[in-house]
């Protein structure tokens, strides 16, 4: 089972189809209530509980929270409340970022809620206390993606990217965490602005890779 506030989590599903083609995936995109990123923690928790309850009606063996907003704010709560394995995007994404960075300067972009939580920075600093981070909320990215405005030659998208990411580029990051699963859909446009030298870490794809490793080792444990 995989869920997100909208179509962003399909970036995780795309990768899951590639690496575990035999798994049946049930996807729930809460397009009726997107975006989650600007809502209070209390509301995000309420929505996350409902999303989990919906997926659990479908005989699933694990849940991938393909949403940076839910993963960074309430993952602990929903894990405690459910015995089924639940995998979020923050940890796998931070591991990938630290594998990639050479200059130890890592940028993080995400929704308001994700950036306010500080979850990505906290995890990066536990992996390497000397890492330099810069985090920036990009609230207009989700509506752009949900409205299909993700092509690199879209003038409006280019302008919004410039507004949000100029500081990030000046900070000299060599690795940029796309901490919201909608953002990989803007990958080409973001990459065009940041330059080829900046590695973009896709939080949905990293969660999918992690879920794959987790399921393989769970199957091995069961013999």
Q: Which parts of this chain interact with ligand DGL (CB under 6 A)?
A: 4-6, 8, 34-37, 67-69, 111, 114, 142, 180-182
Which of 1, 68 has the CB closer to ligand DGL? 68
Helix (H) or strand (E) holding 111: none
Q: Of 7, 9, 49, which is closest to residue 31 (Cα–Cα)?
A: 7
The sheet with strand 175-178 has its strands ordered as: 132-137, 105-110, 175-178, 199-202
Q: Which residue number places its CB atom closest to ligand DGL?
A: 37
Q: Closest approach of Cβ 121 to ligand DGL, in Å? A: 16
> Catalytic positions, please?
67, 180
DSSP 183: G
Which of 34, 106 has the CB closer to ligand DGL? 34
Whether omega for the bond prior to residue 35 falls within 30 degrees of 0, making it cis, is yes
Which of 130, 146 has the CB closer to ligand DGL? 146
Q: Closest approach of Cβ 130 to ligand DGL, in Å? A: 27
Which of 119, 165 has the CB closer to ligand DGL? 119
Q: Closest approach of Cβ 211 to ligand DGL, in Å? A: 16
Within 8 A by CB and 6+ apart from 172, the residues are: 103, 105
- CA–CA separation, 127 and 93 (whole Å): 12
Q: Closest approach of Cβ 203 to ligand DGL, in Å? A: 7
Q: Of 151, 149, 185, which is closest to residue 10 (Cα–Cα)?
A: 185
């Amino acid at each position: 089972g995989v869920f997100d506030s909208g179509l962003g989590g399909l970036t995780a599903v795309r990768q899951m189809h590639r690496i575990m083609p035999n798994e049946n995936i049930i996807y729930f995109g809460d397009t009726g209530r997107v975006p989650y990123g600007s809502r209070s923690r209390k509301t995000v928790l309420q929505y996350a509980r409902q999303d989990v309850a919906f997926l659990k009606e479908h005989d699933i063996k694990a849940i991938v929270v393909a949403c940076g907003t839910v993963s960074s704010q309430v993952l602990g709560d929903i894990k405690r409340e459910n015995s089924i394995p639940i995998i979020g995007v923050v940890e796998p994404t931070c591991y990938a970022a630290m594998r990639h960075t050479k200059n130890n300067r890592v940028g993080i972009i995400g929704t308001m809620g994700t950036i306010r939580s500080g979850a990505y920075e906290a995890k990066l600093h536990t992996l390497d206390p000397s890492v330099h981070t810069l985090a920036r909320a990009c609230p207009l990215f989700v509506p752009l993606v949900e409205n299909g405005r993700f092509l690199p030659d879209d003038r409006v998208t280019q302008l919004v990217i410039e507004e949000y990411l100029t500081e990030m580029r000046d900070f000299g990051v060599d690795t940029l965490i796309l901490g919201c699963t909608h953002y990989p859909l803007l990958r080409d446009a973001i990459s065009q602005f940041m330059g080829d030298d900046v590695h973009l870490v896709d939080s949905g794809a990293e969660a999918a890779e992690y879920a794959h490793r987790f399921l393989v080792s769970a199957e091995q444990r069961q013999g």
